[in-house]
A and B are shown apart, each in its own frame.
Chain A
Amino acid sequence: MEFIQIKGLVRKVFLYLIILTGIDQCAGALLDLALNHSPDGRYYKAKYSLEDCEEDIVIIGDSRGEMDYLPTVFEDSLHMSCWNASRGGQGLPYFRIIQEGLLKRYTPKIILFNVEDNMLEMPTDYERAGFLRPFYQDHPEIRPFIDEISPLEKWLIRSRLYAFNSSFYYLFRPYIFHNLDGDLKDHGWKPRYGSVDPEEERAFTTESELAPLDPMAVQLFETFMNRFKEAGVKVMIVTPPNYNLQVITSSTDQYVANYCKQNHIPLFRYSENIPLITHSSWYGDRDHLNPEGATYFTQKVAHKIKDAFDLVEDPVSVIEFE
């Protein structure tokens, strides 16, 4: 009698799970539709970076990569097409995913890699790249990175609804408010409007702390650089400026500088450039340049890239900002 009851319960649970799976797949299909028709915003941008982008120059970085470099300025001065694939709050796992997405389809001519002064000292956080989960099914190249988020990931991702976990706000926002993550005509650039008040902001500070490097971050960084090298892509590294914070040195800085020297990678350091760092009207907030500052900064970087190309056919020198 009891055995029959238990069997009945198991059957009901099984049936219930099948129905639930059906609902989940339908909901996932609707969300896929919303993603594929996203008018702009971060999902449009991620999709474009992974599936459509074929620009000559691709900028990869975090929020400062996203806000400090204007692709249109590069296009005008270098006569090459450019796409800014950077994303705020992201780190090396995201950069590697974008890299794999690009290299699967084509070989960009130049990668402008925005490196933070503490990038290799921060613990590697795969969870942040979790917003790319909706692409998991169609993009096998990103799976190893998403699987790193947690041991549950491989199982949970089978749910289509879970693939969009916590993404709804950013998925639907562009349907209501346009261009909050940047205008399409700006090719991935997200402006940071506003300005800092020098009276209220931090006083001029210097930083020269040597924190230990995170081995996993170092490994990801090296793989990132090697993958582009193997594909024949020229990589330029830029360290961006912060308002009133002069980074004299850091473990990341030292490591990256040595790496660039050994591997003949051009490195442009703006994180210690006093005129740029102290120019308050160029900053939207203490960490990001406003459109005026970003335009000026991008022109400077474009000039440096031009120099690097003009210098020799195959750039071999480490270039420091004067």
Chain B
Amino acid sequence: MLFNSVDFALFFPIVFLVFWLLANRNIFLRNSFLLAASYLFYGWWDWRFLLLILFSSIVDYLVGLQLGQADAPAKRKLLVGISIVTNLGLLAFFKYYNFFAESFVDAFSFFGRAIQVNTLNIILPVGISFYTFQTMSYTLDIYRRKLKPVHDPVAFLAFVSFFPQLVAGPIERASNLLPQFLEIRHFDEAKASAGFKQIVMGLFMKTAIADRLGLYVAAVYGNVDHHNGMTFMVATVFFAIQIYCDFAGYSLIAIGCAKTLGFDLMDNFKRPYFAHSFKDFWSRWHISLSTWFRDYVYIPLGGSRGSEGRTYANLFTTFVISGLWHGANWTFIIWGALHGFFQTVEKALQNAQRVRLPRSVSIVLVFTLTCFAWIFFRSASVPEAFQIIERIILHPGHRIYTGDLGIFSFALLAILFLLITEWIAEFRPDWTLLYHRSYAVRVFSTSFLILYMAGLGVFDNSQFIYFQF
């Protein structure tokens, strides 16, 4: 079920009302209801996917219980190994099998040997990368003795499948979210109201900005042979904003939905294009994933505890894995590698204390390089990405394709609107109209967003980009 669908518009108010009727009466009943609602939400795509999430949840629930009782290091390692193998195994099969099989064949062909490997016709279950990481963090935290296992299976299953953040995050840590399933919840009107506003803002970012820009980006990137370098530069900047608004919009809706039900999810984005370094960028972009990789990949690899060279290698490896997490395609791996490279160079320059740029120049530089990496992320293949880069460098042309002038001008308007709201949120948070102290201003600004969406939003039932991951 998509957040921007009629189905969800009917589903959510019912869940909201029934949840609050049950909320402070009986935790078991409330969690059972949330679990049923979440499974309905997820099963709306394909009920068969439910078997996977159920399997992954049961394995981690049982592993968690066993880990709570086991003291022997070998047994603990075995148990956490079962959890990792199960979750990564599901991910490897459903997401990466064909990619590795095809890459294997390509590698052999490159050396002049033809081999036959059968690919499978597999449907990628929506959100598998998100919930496997979330449920894995539970067993890993128990293994590290940072968390006690939960005994209530319904609460655990509801935590893994919690519908607001099930398919595209934020990837919650069990230590933050799970205890919230074990508490009595009390309705708080101010919190619910803040949640609804986040939903409105998230829908605005998705329909009025991301999908609006997406029309132009799809027209340009879908027709690589027909556009010049300048057009690709514009389309890439548009895509940078599109993917941000698409994903941050989704996260805001998820956080807002959870908030109306009294749950607090972590922030996932903090105006990433105001980042003045790549380190800063990754502390603002997809925060739940970057901190996950920091805690469960980078630090276990050794983090920054070893030599300088080892630290750079760890950093680079983490980003390559992060790229692979995004998708089974070399374009994503190169995207991740580029970010790893940018970070290592940045760290090396900082260590050498060679470069000090003014903040505004750093922001522009980081944004430009981020856009460069987005070319790989958006392109259908690596050769296509290089073709686009070649166009930008060698054939910039002298005219930008605008397509339909109406669509293009509304896209520019959307960017202007985003720039203003982001600037206010970054530098003048007290000016934020949506949370202004005046009731009239709050109502006016919320109404403006809704009416703007009605007039200029794109409602083509499009998926959120991160669903594919």
Q: Which residues of A contact B (CB under 8 A)?
A: 2-3, 5-6, 8-10, 13, 16, 20, 23-24, 27, 89, 127, 149-153, 155-156, 159, 161-162, 164-170
Q: Chain B CB within 10 Å — which of A8, A10, A166 has the most?
A: A166
**Pairs across A and B, CB under 8 Å, 8 listed:** A6-B187, A16-B443, A20-B451, A89-B404, A127-B460, A151-B461, A155-B9, A166-B456
Question: Contact between A165 and B405 (Cβ–Cβ < 8 Å)?
Answer: no
Question: Contact between B447 and A20 (Cβ–Cβ < 8 Å)?
Answer: yes
Q: A50 CA to B443 CA in the complex, in Å?
A: 39
Contact of A20 among B5, B192, B450 (CB under 8 A): B450
Question: Contact between A161 and B189 (Cβ–Cβ < 8 Å)?
Answer: no
Q: Mark B402-424, 1 if CB is under 8 A from A, else 0.
A: 00111101100000000000000
Q: Inside 8 A of A27's CB, which chain B residues have their CB?
A: 451, 455
Q: A310 CA to B151 CA in the complex, in Å?
A: 90
Q: Inside 8 A of B23's CB, which chain A residues have their CB?
A: 2
Q: Inside 8 A of B17's CB, which chain A residues have their CB?
A: 6, 10
Chain B contact residues: over half helix, strand or loop, or mixed?
A: helix
Q: A27 CA to B451 CA in the complex, in Å?
A: 10
How far is the CB of A150 from the nearest CB of chain B, in Å? 5
Q: A159 CA to B456 CA in the complex, in Å?
A: 12
Q: A165 CA to B451 CA in the complex, in Å?
A: 10
Question: Contact between B5 and A152 (Cβ–Cβ < 8 Å)?
Answer: yes
Answer whether residue B469 sits at the interface, using C-beta atoms and an 8 A cutoff: no
Question: Contact between A152 and B461 (Cβ–Cβ < 8 Å)?
Answer: yes
Question: Contact between B192 and A162 (Cβ–Cβ < 8 Å)?
Answer: no
Q: Inside 8 A of A153's CB, which chain B residues have their CB?
A: 459
Question: Contact between B409 and A169 (Cβ–Cβ < 8 Å)?
Answer: yes
Contact of B454 among A6, A24, A170 (CB under 8 A): A24
Q: Inside 8 A of B443's CB, which chain A residues have their CB?
A: 16
Answer whether residue B428 sits at the interface, using C-beta atoms and an 8 A cutoff: no
Q: A2 CA to B187 CA in the complex, in Å?
A: 6
Beyond A152-B5, A152-B6, A169-B405, whether A2 also contacts B20 by CB under 8 A is yes
Q: Inside 8 A of A166's CB, which chain B residues have their CB?
A: 406-407, 410, 455-456, 458
Question: Contact between B187 and A23 (Cβ–Cβ < 8 Å)?
Answer: no
Q: A153 CA to B459 CA in the complex, in Å?
A: 8
Apart from A24-B454, A149-B460, A168-B456, what are 19 other A-B pairs with CB-CB below 8 Å? A2-B20, A2-B23, A2-B187, A6-B17, A9-B192, A9-B193, A20-B447, A23-B451, A127-B460, A150-B461, A151-B5, A152-B6, A153-B459, A155-B9, A156-B459, A159-B454, A162-B455, A166-B410, A168-B406
Q: A42 CA to B458 CA in the complex, in Å?
A: 21
Q: A23 CA to B448 CA in the complex, in Å?
A: 11
Answer whether residue B457 sits at the interface, using C-beta atoms and an 8 A cutoff: yes
